[in-house]
Structure 1
Amino acid sequence: MDQLLALRIFVRIAEAGTFGKAADQLNMPRSTASKLLQDLEDHLGTRLIHRTTRTITVTPEGAQYYERARRLLGDLEDMDTATRQTRAQPKGRLRIDIGSIHANQLLLPALPRFQAAYPDIELRVGVSDRPTDLISEGIDCVIRGGALADTTLIARKLCEMEFVTCCHASYIEQHGRPSRPEDIEQHHRIVGYFSSLTGKVFPLRFTRGEQSVEIHGHAAVAVNESTAHLSALTTGMGIGQTFRWFVRDMIERGDMVALLEDWQPPRHPLYIMYPPNRHLNATVRVFVDWAVQLFAAVDDRALASAGSR
């Protein structure tokens, strides 16, 4: 028995005075309405309505049950309405998690515009490069790059970012410029990035046409946080690979030097991910849509296309 539907039909019968009107109001056959009421009475072990060939009357037990059922259905309707309004009006707390360099260089500087558009949303921004568990940590959505580790999440691609092999100009003055990837492994110091999970330093990756090369070499320093990695590069500690977007101005000024430009590191896809939910609430939805627009501005595919025109 669908007890909620049975409650609805009982309340409608009590108010309409006939099975026919109650069934019509709920768009169901009269026989179905009668069967639901009978099942409800059997479930309760008492008669709620006296039936005759011409009239129906609510029993004393039915009258008491009607008052409580009516309040219950009213509360349920209020709850549904409030939930629909919450979904329609973005507000409340939103917990997001994002990698350090993307938070500091892109997201946080742009957040005043988001807050101006959605002043009723309270943001909690977790900044880290470590893997996260959205469910256990109460995170609404996460922005991460690279291969997707959790395929149970909904993922929207934000952009593709280009890596550049680079170092500070002072490093070149002291150690010279490599002419091929192998020179880095044999003669240079590397500013590395290591995995928070395994502790292993990621290799420098290069592609040129059909050729692919991985360079491990000697990591003079390795960090597991992207902003710290950029800082280590800009202080002249060695050669590394970072996002071109974040060093482009320094390269143009001559403070940083792009190396081995004919050997390109693979592009880095960036995603925003959130748990699957058929009814995505408005707060998460508007942030996801806003983030898509924000990161489109740093999509190196679009920038390359614009530059070629």
Structure 2
Amino acid sequence: MDRLDAMRLFTRIIELGSFTAAADDLNLPRATVTHTIKRLETRLGTQLLQRTTRRVHATRDGEAYYSHCVRLLAEMDAVEADFREATVQPRGHLRIDVPALMARLWLIPALPAFFARYPLLELDIGTGDHFVDLLREGVDCVLRVGKLPDSNLVGRRVGVLEQLTVASAAYVRKHGVPQSLADLQNRHCAVNWASPTTHRSEPLEFMVGRKRREVILPGQVTVSSVEAYLACCEAGLGIAQFPRYRVAEGIANGTLRELLPATPPPSLPVTVLYAPHRQMPARLRVFVDWLVEQMSKQL
């Protein structure tokens, strides 16, 4: 096995956390994987991996070597892709992660057209709102809504989502409709949203003209899952704020009511994130361009 192949094998072991999983992923015998890593560690003069009964972890030297491998392999793939692109369709496998409802409503229905345009590409689609470590988990890009934590990832804005303040019809019957932000603070409660990243409860936000106002309401329940947040609101446990597309059906059938439309929440940015590349692989570039194109039609 040459050095590039050994580097690819090493990165897959790190990303999958297992010699066996990497062997299966690359269609290699387990003995070949073990022998290759031993030779690699001998050549470099350091231990790269620590083995436990459940998982393989990188040593400090292994983490540093992994970072170099990812960068060098990405550059090599990009160079080869650029030479092929003039005469050959982009090809290969992409791992992406998209919020579940966005995937169901917008992304997946458009995929037949995408595959018609790029028949040699394959997608592995994850659906969730949790933090994804792109390099460690082997994910090529993610689509995310809202404020993003600082990171070394490249972000490309897709658009913005209009938000609404809502409560269930049952909540409105019990507590009434707030007529102003002052009324909201005096008589109402919220379903509290805690960021999965910071674990801090976030206030409700409202735009009063061009100024952003934050309102903290009491609440008996705090959640950090989008689905749980919506379920609690639908159950009448308090007021919540969502992008319009998430609550459009509930508003249409009367189970949810929009509140305070004159002071709506600020819009949320939608961003596609990917690792920095000196030369982005053609397969990733065409997918990101297509994703921006599709989402701009929807937002």
TM-score range, shorter chain: 0.5 to 0.7
Distance 2:235 2:115 in 1: 35
Relative to structure 1, is the Cα distance of residues 256 and 97 closer, same or farther in structure 2, using a 3 angstrom cutoff?
Answer: same
Deviations 1:98-147 (A, max 9, x none): 23443344323433433343333221222222222212221111111333
CA contact (8 A) 1:161 1:298 kept: no
| Contact map agreement 2:92 2:121 (CA 8 A) in 1 | yes
Equivalences for residues 46-65 of structure 1 within 5 A: none
2:230 — aligned with what?
Answer: 230
- The change in CA–CA distance for 1:182 and 1:282 in structure 2 (over 3 A counts) is same
- The structural deviation recorded for 1:240 is 0.3
Partner of 1:84: 83
Which sits farther off after the overlay, 114-123 or 91-100?
114-123
Which residue of 2 is the match for residue 11 of structure 1?
none
Query: In the aligned structure 2, how far is the partner of 1:210 from the partner of 1:153?
Result: 30
> How far apart, in 1, do the equivalents of 2:140 and 2:117 lie?
19
Distance 1:160 1:83 in 2: 32
SS of the aligned residue for 1:125 comes to strand
CA deviation after TM superposition for structure 1 residue 95, in Å: 0.8
Looking at structure 1, the residues matched to 237 and 116 of structure 2 have their Cα atoms a distance apart, in angstroms, of: 41
| CA shift in 2, pair 1:121/1:268, >3 Å | same
> Whole-Å Cα distance in 2 between the matches of residues 110 and 94 of structure 1?
16
Alpha carbons 2:171, 2:236 under 8 Å: kept: yes
* Number of the residue aligned with 1:159: 159
User: Compared with structure 1, are the counterparts of its residues 191 and 107 closer, same or farther at alpha carbon in structure 2 (3 Å cutoff)?
Assistant: farther
Structure 1 residues 200-226: Cα deviation after superposition (integer angstroms, max 9, x where no partner) = 121100121154321221233332222
- Once superposed, what is the RMSD of the aligned Cα atoms? 2.6
> Shift of residue 260 of structure 1?
0.4
1:82–1:276: structure 2 CA closer, same or farther, 3 Å change rule?
closer
Give percent identity, aligned residues only. 36
The number of residues matched between the two structures is 221
Is 1:289 the counterpart of 2:289? The answer is yes
1:37-116 map, 5 Å: 84-85=83-84, 88-116=88-116
Q: Shift of the alpha carbon at 1:166?
A: 0.6
Structure 1 match to 2:141: 141
The 1:102/1:224 distance shift into structure 2, 3 A limit, reads farther
Give the corresponding residue for 2:245. Answer: 245
Indicate the larger mover: 112-121 or 123-132.
Answer: 112-121
TM-score normalised by structure 2 residue count:
0.65
* Alpha-carbon distance between aligned partners in 1 of 2:144 and 2:280, rounded to the nearest angstrom: 20
Inter-partner Cα distance in structure 1 for 2:218 and 2:81? 59
Distance 1:112 1:158, change over 3 A: same
Asked whether the equivalents of residues 245 and 298 of structure 1 are also in contact (C-alpha less than 8 Å), the reply is no
Using the size of structure 1 for normalisation, the TM-score is: 0.63
Structure 1 residues 218, 268: CA separation in 2 closer, same or farther (over 3 Å shift)? same
Any stretches of 5+ residues in structure 1 without a counterpart? 1-79, 300-309
Structure 1 counterpart of 2:90, one-letter code: P
